[in-house]
Chains A and B, each alone.
Chain A
Amino acid sequence: MRPLTEEETKIFFEKLSKYIGRNIVHLVDRQDEPYCFRLHRDRVYYVSEAIMRRSVSIGRDNLLSLGVCFGKFTKTLKFRLHITALDYLAQYAKYKVWVKPNGEMPFLYGNHILKAHLGRITEDTPEHQGVIIYSMSDVPLGFGVTARSTGDARKLDPTAIIVFHQADVGEFLRDEDSLT
């Protein structure tokens, strides 16, 4: 476990800002309690300082997880968000997509979101923008990247893909053993 280097922080924030924009600031600077980011086995954890200080006493091999895992760095030093970060992403989301009830299950099984399943979308969402997916009752389901901007999406036929799937809460079941 160690703090992120400057380069890693930059890469991490760049990825995060695609989903929550300026709200990264709120993650770094919290009013209630100091929180920090820690890297452990290539994974980035968001953890309160108190817990972090306590976990120092646990050996590297024995420490499985701490705080909330945001994602991991690939071997080529790119950052990949994990579904476990959804709570924070949903809280600060900049662009949102709501799926209709009939589209929930297909999305939770790892499929892209089709136009037919699109319930609502934040206005003026550009193309290739990170978005958080909600059910119609405002329950966050996952996140993805838009395939078309809101304007373009209007002209498409119902089977066209609107949002590319990246992660969904179904992974908590599917990848139970590998998620930390």
Chain B
Amino acid sequence: MLRTAKPRTAKGKRIQLAKEPQLIETTKQALFIRGTTTSQLVSSALKNLYQLKRPDGILFSKRNEVRPFEDPRPLEFFADKNDAAILVVASHSKKRPHNLVIARTFDNQVMDMVELGIEGGVSMEEFKGQKAAIGHRPLLLFHGDAFESHEDLRTVRSLFMDLYRGDATADLVNLSGLEHVISITAVGGTEGNKRIHMRVFTVHLKKSGTKLPRVELEEMGPSIDFVLRRYRLADKETWKMATKVPKQVKEKKEKNIEFDDIGDKFGRVHMGKQDLGKLQTRKMKGLKRAATDDEGDDAGEAVGSGKRQRAEDEE
């Protein structure tokens, strides 16, 4: 944990407040970090991934000594310092050439991460044509049954989705702003042979003669082929904590309200059990209850003592 001093200015206080846990979270910030050594391929991939994430990402210009799988603490430090929850680390070594690690933190502790080796790729700059504007939410496509059947690939999918889904709290989306699509395809296989293909296209809408437009795609890059290397899945306890839905946000189930096929609303009202003893009826002297039950007894005594009191006062 970083040292947190009491803020001295109102602005500092606002910044600190913004770093505290929020009820409804918006887009996760991502950090793009270069390791001590990087290859041309992996650093351009890192840059392209950052360009897709803009403006919710920070690309570090300096190299940092980080080895996420050996020691996650430097990553956690960066995450805390920059208030970021997703970290992408590029590195290159003889043992693991063109290496990209995507890690996700919860409460500034690394929760899960996957290591992807880049087998080949074409950077965004090499594709001609219009690029999507910064800040538009991409469409996301996940192809392949391997995503369902493999636990590790499911984590990969979850990480990519978390990275690029944009502001999920927005309930409106501009239809003309749907400019690009990120398509991620998983090809299953044996351990160390699972491949993930990432392609990014711009979307062109053509007339189709119907209300819906015909979609044509044009590749805008980057196009990267990954192979899955090491991974670390989230442990159950942390995952449970991280996916807790706040009570205030959770929809309350409306009880006893039904709709029929036409859409008419039906409510059912439950009556509590009625205590007929307390029923207010017409008061008559003759019908006054005898002082038999406890309640009546108490009342009678109280009245009696009151009378006595009054009598004494008069004396």
Q: Do chains A and B touch in the complex (CB under 8 A)?
A: no
A contacts, CB < 8 Å to B: none
